[in-house]
Each structure stands twice: as structure tokens, then as C-alpha cells.
Amino acid sequence: MPTPVAYDETDPKLALPRLREIVRRLRAPDGCPWDIEQTHESLIPNLLEEAYEAADAIRSGDRPHMCEELGDLMLQAVMHAQIASEAGDFDLDDVASGIADKLVRRHPHVFGDSDAADTEAVLAQWDEIKLSEKAAAGDAAVPPSALDGVPVGMPALMRAKEMQKKAAKIGFDWDLPEQVLPKVREELDEVTAAMSEGNPGAIADEIGDLLFAVVNLSRKLKVDPEAALADANAKFARRFCGVERHFAANGKQLAGSTLAEMDAAWDSIKASE
């Protein structure tokens, strides 16, 4: 077994090498049974969970918590790099080198002689470079799509927004938010029609179209639909818990109460915010 490397815990410059060594030690034959059993595939749920927890910490504004959650997310990258290193595929240095090279390559206005005066120009240049890289690396028999690069596994609201943004870059988009409203109303009418027909498959299909149209509206209004829904979820949870506390304070339970009673408590809590 390789001799463990000792790092000075008080030296912040050695924090990353120390983390790397800790993960290597956890994966060693006499390390942690759980860590040893992990694979790239088994760690996918952990990677997604940590990304969402980091996002929650960022939204909360709690900087110490944000630091902690970013550390948990970083651990996932180090774990995947260690597993790959054991298989002889790549290691953490390759990961860092790859993203460093990509950043330099896609920022010629900083590291080269290109010119990009504002954010819009930077994003346009980034997409142009990215598409040229994909075309060079891909199968010449399969032409690149403007939608390339949007992960299938991305949360549905986020994926809808990203696909719409990519389509908009080649002109497949409305000019104004007001032009999206008729589409939202059209899709809502189609949901109503599907409900009247009692066809579950058609209802699900039309609700999907309605959600996609609402994402389009939010995008045109420069509102992140994922963040907006996250805020709405938090607001619902806060008010619903308030209703529960209200009933408990009056010696009552939500179960068995009328909807009118619950609505009255909800409206009271909403008005007090």
C-alpha cells in the first residue's frame, strides 16, 4: 500500500492536495468500505443532491453554509477523479488542466487578440467557439444541432429554458414577452379541452405544452423559471406550516377541517407577511 502523505492542516495552500490524499486513502484497500464500493454511476445521486444543496445555500445567503456545501460538491469531483485515476482513465490534474485549457480557449478576448465589448458579445463568441469544437470532434455524417450541449438529464424546467435559449440564438423565438401570452392561453385552453374529453394521456401532453409555454414566458421576462418555482415552493411551505401552527394553537387539526377554514387561515397568514 502506498505510504500516506502528511499535509500541514494549517496551511491553506495545501488544502486541495490534502483533500485529494484523504480521498485516495478512503479508497485504498484498507480504507472506508462505503467509499471503496462507490462507482461513477453510484455517485450520480450524490452529485445531483450536493449540487441542489449548494444552490439552496446560495439562495439562502448563508455564506458559511454555502462554503460547506461547495465543499461537499467539490468532494464529488475529487471522488470521480480518484475512481477514474484507479482505472487509468484520467486524474484530478487532467480535470483541472482540461477546464483551464477550455477557459483560455473560449476567452480569446482575455487571453488572445479577439474583441468582445459586452456580455452579449462574450456569449455569442463562446457559443461560436463551442459549436466549432463540437463540429471538429463529432461525426461528420451527423450535422451539429443548435440544441447540442443541453443535457437530457437536466431538470425539466431548466432543460426547457436552455433549449429555448439555444433556439432563440438562431432566431426561433418571439420578439416580445407579450407575444408569448396568447400561446400560454392557447395551451391552457387545450388542457381544458383534454380534461373535458377525459383522456389522461392527452391531459398530460397538454400540461407539458402549457409548462413549456410558461417557461418561454418567464425566459422572455428574464425570470429564471427554476428559481421562480423554488421561491414559490418555499412560499407555499412557509404558509402551509403557518396554517398548521394556527390550527394547533387553537387545539384543532387540519385533517377533518373544512377547506373554507383552511383558506381563511391561509389568507390571514398571507396578509400578515
Q: Does the pLDDT of residue 22 top 70, yes or no?
A: yes
Q: Does the pLDDT of residue 3 top 70, yes or no?
A: no
Q: Does the pLDDT of residue 105 top 50, yes or no?
A: yes
> Do 116 and 106 meet the contact criterion of CB atoms below 8 Å apart?
no
State the Cα–Cα distance between residues 265 and 200, nearest whole angstrom.
34
State the Cα–Cα distance between residues 145 and 125, nearest whole angstrom.
17
> Do 226 and 157 meet the contact criterion of CB atoms below 8 Å apart?
yes
State the Cα–Cα distance between residues 46 and 76, nearest whole angstrom.
8
Give pLDDT, residue 134.
Answer: 76
| Per-residue model confidence as pLDDT tens digits over 177-200 | 999 999 999 999 999 999 999 999
Q: Is 148 left (phi over 0), alpha (psi -120 to 50) or beta?
A: beta
Query: pLDDT band for position 132 (50/70/90)?
Result: confident
Q: Does the pLDDT of residue 2 top 90, yes or no?
A: no
Q: Rounded mean pLDDT of 222-234? A: 93
The C-alpha cell 455564506 sits at: 63
Provide the 8-state DSSP code for 144: -
| Residues 6+ away with beta carbon under 8 Å from 50 | 69, 72, 73, 75, 76
Which ranges constitute the DSSP H helices of the chain? Answer: 15-26, 33-37, 44-60, 63-86, 92-105, 108-111, 119-137, 156-168, 181-197, 200-220, 225-249, 259-272
Q: Rounded mean pLDDT of 107-128? A: 91
Query: pLDDT band for position 139 (50/70/90)?
Result: low
Query: pLDDT band for position 1 (50/70/90)?
Result: very low
Q: Rounded mean pLDDT of 247-258? A: 91
Least confident of 55-59, 103-107, 218-222: 55-59
In 3D space, the residue among 35, 18, 75, 34 whose CA is nearest the CA of residue 51 turns out to be: 75
> Do 193 and 199 meet the contact criterion of CB atoms below 8 Å apart?
no
State the Cα–Cα distance between residues 232 and 75, nearest whole angstrom.
30
CA angle 87, 88, 94 (to 5 degrees): 120
Q: How far is CA 53 from CA 46, 56, 71, 170, in A?
A: 10, 5, 11, 34
Q: Rounded mean pLDDT of 117-131? A: 88
Give pLDDT, residue 208.
Answer: 97
Give pLDDT, residue 11.
Answer: 80
| Residues 6+ away with beta carbon under 8 Å from 193 | 206
Q: Does the pLDDT of residue 12 top 90, yes or no?
A: no
Least confident of 22-36, 102-116, 138-152, 241-255: 138-152
Q: Rounded mean pLDDT of 3-8? A: 63
The C-alpha cell 464500493 sits at: 37
State the Cα–Cα distance between residues 56 and 54, nearest whole angstrom.
5
Quote the radius of gyration of the chain (alpha carbons, Å): 25
